[in-house]
Amino acid sequence: MPSEAEKLAINRTTNLFVVTGPSGVGKGTMIAKILERVPHIAKSVSATTRQMREGERQNVDYFFCSSEEFFKMKLRGEFLEWAKFTEHYYGTPRSWVEKSLSEGQDVILEIEVEGAKQIRQKYPQAVLIFISPPSYDELKSRLQSRATESPERILTRLEKAKEELNSKNLFDYEVINDNLDEAIGNLEHIVYAERLRITR
């Protein structure tokens, strides 16, 4: 006997969710929980030219590649969207996303703001969610305590964050990630509410 969640999945069209917002705001942390809690949803793995961080895995966290490989993929039209973020390139592989959606699975993209704007243009039906920090100082302290970048690179990301925070009105939803559990709960509500939508 299918569960209620499974019945819902059978009777619905699929959704492309885009989770965007400044680096360090908690996108990755929140999405990891959504993937554990919500059935029939998967996160796209992006290609990037940045160095692998300690603990990251090739083809799981990212397809880590050279700039040459990245540009070959771009020329072949393999990206749904791509952007340069600080000094590195990031792109979403088109074929996996299209295949997953056509097979009845919702997809989440975790991408920066320029890429999210491209998705807004190309896929007007995509659901775009902006994650905001409770304050700029809190964003700074999250990036500092994550400690995955040098102090100079953290500063670059914080400068970029100022621009990104000004773009939030282009998106459909804002979730403030102050209390983590509440923020995850709000993201989960958005996913389920969008699954019940009749029109867009």
Residues near ligand ADP (CB under 6 A) are 23-29, 142, 145-146, 177, 180, 183
Q: Does 23 bind ligand 5GP (CB under 6 A)?
A: yes
Q: Does 46 bind ligand 5GP (CB under 6 A)?
A: yes
Q: Which helix (H) or strand (E) holds 20?
A: strand 16-20
Q: Which is nearer to ligand ADP, 23 or 46 (CB)?
A: 23
Q: Which is nearer to ligand 5GP, 91 or 133 (CB)?
A: 91
- Residue 95's CB is within 10 A of a number of other CB atoms, namely 9
Convert 19-47 to b/e letters by CB count within 10 Å (16 or more is b): bbbbbbbbbeebbebbeeebebbebbbbb
Which two tokens mark 135? Answer: 């304050």
- Residue 199's CB is within 10 A of a number of other CB atoms, namely 3
Shortest Cβ 114–ligand 5GP spacing (Å) = 6
The DSSP bridge partners found for residue 158 are none
Binding part of the chain for ligand 5GP, among 32-40, 104-112, 167-175, 190-198 by CB under 6 A, reads 104-112
Q: Does 173 bind ligand 5GP (CB under 6 A)?
A: no
Shortest Cβ 185–ligand 5GP spacing (Å) = 21
Within 59-98, which residues bind ligand 5GP (CB under 6 A)? 81, 83, 85, 90-92
State the sign of the Cα–Cα–Cα–Cα dihedral 73, 74, 76, 79. Answer: positive
Residues engaged in binding ligand 5GP (CB under 6 A): 23, 27, 46, 50, 81, 83, 85, 90-92, 110-112, 114-115
